[in-house]
Amino acid sequence: MSDRGAVTAELAVGMVAVAVVLVAVLATGAATVARLTCLDAARTGARVAALGEPDDVVVAAARRVLGDRGEVRVARDEGWVTVTVSTPFTGWSVLGGARAQGSATSWAEP
């Protein structure tokens, strides 16, 4: 019995495993970048809201950090302002509509 070609078959299986791990690492990296971008945009919006700016200015400031994609919501409650930002992971249709989200809360100056 000949073992000829066995190494090639094992290498092919191993390369598939390496490719799957690489895709998982890249997806995790993309999710992390999207999450950090959302947090930065939410914090920026919360800082602008703390200065007493109206909601449209808060949304514009958050969008400047976030970019064109995603959603920005502003909620006000008894002097507190919460800015919530979410965006889809770009380029990863396999994840089926997965979104990153970040929020920040600040006290709004009167």
Angle at 35 between CA 71 and CA 55, to 5 degrees: 35
Q: What dihedral angle (degrees, nearest 10) is formed by the CA atoms of 39, 44, 49, 53?
A: -150
Q: What percent of the chain has pLDDT over 70?
A: 88
Mean predicted confidence (pLDDT) in 49-76: 92
Q: What percent of the chain has pLDDT over 90?
A: 52
Secondary structure E strands in 52-98: 71-77, 80-88
pLDDT in tens, 2-56: 666 567 778 888 899 899 899 888 888 888 989 999 999 999 999 999 998 999 9
Q: Which residues contact 73 (CB under 8 A, 6 or more apart)?
A: 83, 84, 85
| Cα(7)–Cα(49) distance, integer angstroms | 62
